[in-house]
């Protein structure tokens, strides 16, 4: 591991944020896998309407990613009751759910993109929202 002891304080903050974002992306990859599998099962196999299937798949992946982020990404931050962070995470990620589902439905219906590929694009857009707000609000220092 690189020593940051001699770095300026601002550089250390950027370095720490970059490392935390890498963890967030790794957790997000797990959440995305859960999301994709659930979306395939719900929309592809069970023929639920795409917006409903997407919302359910995202909600399930939010449960998984909250636990992983709590234990790993932001293990050193956040105070108070875990239920408070879970509620904040859910509220913030509900915005991400709307972003993801909106992009997914638009790309699938209007641009003819396969729903699983469209979901990847939507998840990428939602990830920026989710990380920024969860970093600032849910697990604030």
Q: Would 40 be classed as within a structural domain? A: yes
Q: How many domains does the chain have?
A: 1
Q: Would 3 be classed as within a structural domain? A: no
User: Distance (Å, rounded) from C-alpha 63 to C-alpha 119?
Assistant: 18
pLDDT one-digit tens code per residue, 95-128 = 999 999 999 999 999 999 999 999 999 999 999 8
User: Distance (Å, rounded) from C-alpha 29 to C-alpha 140?
Assistant: 23
pLDDT one-digit tens code per residue, 11-45 = 998 998 899 989 988 999 999 999 999 999 999 99
pLDDT one-digit tens code per residue, 47-78 = 999 999 999 999 999 999 999 999 999 888 87
Find, among 131, 64, 139, the residue nearest to 99 by Cα: 131
Q: Would 127 be classed as within a structural domain? A: yes
Tell me which residue range forms the domain holding 93: 9-138
Q: Would 4 be classed as within a structural domain? A: no
> 39 and 119 in contact (C-beta within 8 Å)?
yes
Q: Would 24 be classed as within a structural domain? A: yes
> Residue 81 class from Cβ within 10 Å (0-12 exposed, 13-18 middle, 19+ buried)?
exposed
Q: Would 26 be classed as within a structural domain? A: yes
């Amino acid at each position: 591991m690189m020593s940051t002891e001699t770095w300026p304080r601002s550089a250390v903050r950027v370095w720490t944020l970059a490392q935390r974002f890498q963890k967030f992306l790794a957790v997000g990859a797990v959440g995305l896998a859960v999301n994709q599998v659930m979306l395939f099962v719900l929309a592809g196999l069970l023929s639920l309407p795409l917006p409903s299937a997407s919302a359910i798949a995202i909600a399930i992946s939010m449960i998984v990613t909250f636990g992983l982020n709590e234990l790993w990404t932001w293990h050193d931050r956040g105070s108070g009751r875990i239920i408070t962070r879970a509620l904040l995470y859910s509220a913030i990620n509900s915005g991400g759910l709307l972003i993801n589902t909106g992009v997914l439905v638009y790309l699938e219906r209007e641009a003819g993109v396969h729903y699983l590929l469209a979901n990847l694009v939507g998840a990428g857009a939602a990830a920026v929202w989710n990380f920024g707000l969860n970093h600032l609000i849910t697990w604030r220092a």
